[in-house]
């Protein structure tokens, strides 16, 4: 059983960081019912195909409702009455216009933790503007700081913003809110913004900037690829390795294993020496293949790893030993994380088709069989979805 066993969450279907927060909570044992759009035939929805491939949607049951219809809204509010928390990822004001905003939900369930996921937050000049991960991390300073000195900033996929600063922060905020509600009897509203969360993740960098140990220039610092002892190097086979020999003892071991003289690298902490040292290492690492460097350096205190592609990573010996990837529903996917001594998070159920659990999920959440039949006969519930394959 996961540590969140017994926590119930209503999730209003969205994209990106909201579903990722739901995955994190479901992976830890929370029971989540997702409200999908009834008869959702938008091209982006149909193109998703088999939901088993939608890894962040694992661990839900789905009901399909038209939230603009008062009867559907009543169903959603009845689910809210049974929930510990709620996830929604619409622009500010959308849920209020639907009659499902925080005040509406807290009138039904004062202990509810109402989780709101947006890019810019619920207020501020940009609150109602469209945006994506790249825009949100740009305002935090994070995007500007990544990349080579003489080239454009490099987007770090959408890991930093959507999933780190967004979804992870929302999941954290919901758990904090639920803990408070358990002893106070009062719910809360979590305003999780990707821009806020990314800024919080930049705290260590801003700390170094304040101390004068971080240069406000891209690729000029120990951790941004400028230092010769912390970076990525190409090998003879055009694959890559990475070195993280930050501490002096690790650096000394690196030179020893590479059979290089410390006298040739007398002042590794002087940024003026970094271009020269780095050029020397770049040339040196092209002498052998990645596998050859792994044989020499992997598992030592050099702080070394091969740079694996997405197909290689699941098969690395360390990843296999810790079962970091699992095969489920025909899809290889990351396993739940983190791990606990006294709890056992397990991979939750298969991602559902929209409306797949119209009947059983509602009954599990307190609706009577008669009520569910009435909702189905009256057309309030969408038809149970079947497999959709993208053309």
User: Are 120 and 131 within 8 A, CB to CB?
Assistant: yes
**Tokens describing residue 316:** 């690395």
**CB contact burial 144-179 (16+ within 10 A = b; e otherwise):** ebbbeeeeebebbebebbbbbbbbbbbbebbbebbe
Contact status, residue 167 vs residue 228, Cβ threshold 8 Å: no
Angle of helix 169-184 versus helix 17-27 axis, rounded to 10: 60
**Residue of 130, 63, 41, 60 whose CA lies nearest to 94:** 130
- Rounded to 10°, the helix 169-184/194-201 angle is 100
Catalytic machinery residues: 132, 162
Are 228 and 281 in contact, with CB atoms under 8 Å apart? Answer: yes
Which two three-digit tokens encode residue 167?
A: 């979804």
The Cβ of residue 348 has, within 10 Å, a number of other Cβ atoms equal to: 21
């Amino acid at each position: 059983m996961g540590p969140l066993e017994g926590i119930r969450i209503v999730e209003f279907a969205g994209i990106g960081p909201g579903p990722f927060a739901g995955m994190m909570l479901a992976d830890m044992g929370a029971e989540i019912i997702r409200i999908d759009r009834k008869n959702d035939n938008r091209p982006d929805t149909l193109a998703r195909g088999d939901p088993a491939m939608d890894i962040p949607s694992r661990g839900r049951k789905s009901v399909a409702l038209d939230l603009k219809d008062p009867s559907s809204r009543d169903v959603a509010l009845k689910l809210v009455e049974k929930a510990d928390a709620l996830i929604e990822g619409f622009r500010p004001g959308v849920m209020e216009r639907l009659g499902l905003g925080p005040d509406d939900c807290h009138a039904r369930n004062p202990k509810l933790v109402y989780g709101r996921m947006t890019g810019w937050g619920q207020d501020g000049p940009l609150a109602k503007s469209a945006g994506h991960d790249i825009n949100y991390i740009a305002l935090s300073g994070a995007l500007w700081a990544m990349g080579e000195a003489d080239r454009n900033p490099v987007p770090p996929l959408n890991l930093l913003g959507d999933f780190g600063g967004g979804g992870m922060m929302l999941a954290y905020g919901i758990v904090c809110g639920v803990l408070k509600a358990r002893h106070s009897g009062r719910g809360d509203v979590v305003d999780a913004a990707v821009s806020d969360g990314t800024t919080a993740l930049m705290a260590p960098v801003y700390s170094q900037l304040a101390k004068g140990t971080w240069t406000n220039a891209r690729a000029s610092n120990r951790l941004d690829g400028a230092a010769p002892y912390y970076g990525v190097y190409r090998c003879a086979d055009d694959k890559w390795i990475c070195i993280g020999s930050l501490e002096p003892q690790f650096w000394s071991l690196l030179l020893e294993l590479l059979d290089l003289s410390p006298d040739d690298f007398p002042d590794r902490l002087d940024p003026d020496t970094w271009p020269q040292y780095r050029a020397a290492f770049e040339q040196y690492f092209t002498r052998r293949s990645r596998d050859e460097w792994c044989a020499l350096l992997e598992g030592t205190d050099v702080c070394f790893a091969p740079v694996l592609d997405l197909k290689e990573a699941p098969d690395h010996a360390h990843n296999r030993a810790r079962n970091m990837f699992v095969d489920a529903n025909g899809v290889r996917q990351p396993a739940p994380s983190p791990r606990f001594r006294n709890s056992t998070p397990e991979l939750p159920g298969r991602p559902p088709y929209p409306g797949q659990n119209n009947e059983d999920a509602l009954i599990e959440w307190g609706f009577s069989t008669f009520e569910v039949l009435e909702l189905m006969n009256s057309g309030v519930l969408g038809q149970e979805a079947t497999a959709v394959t993208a053309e």
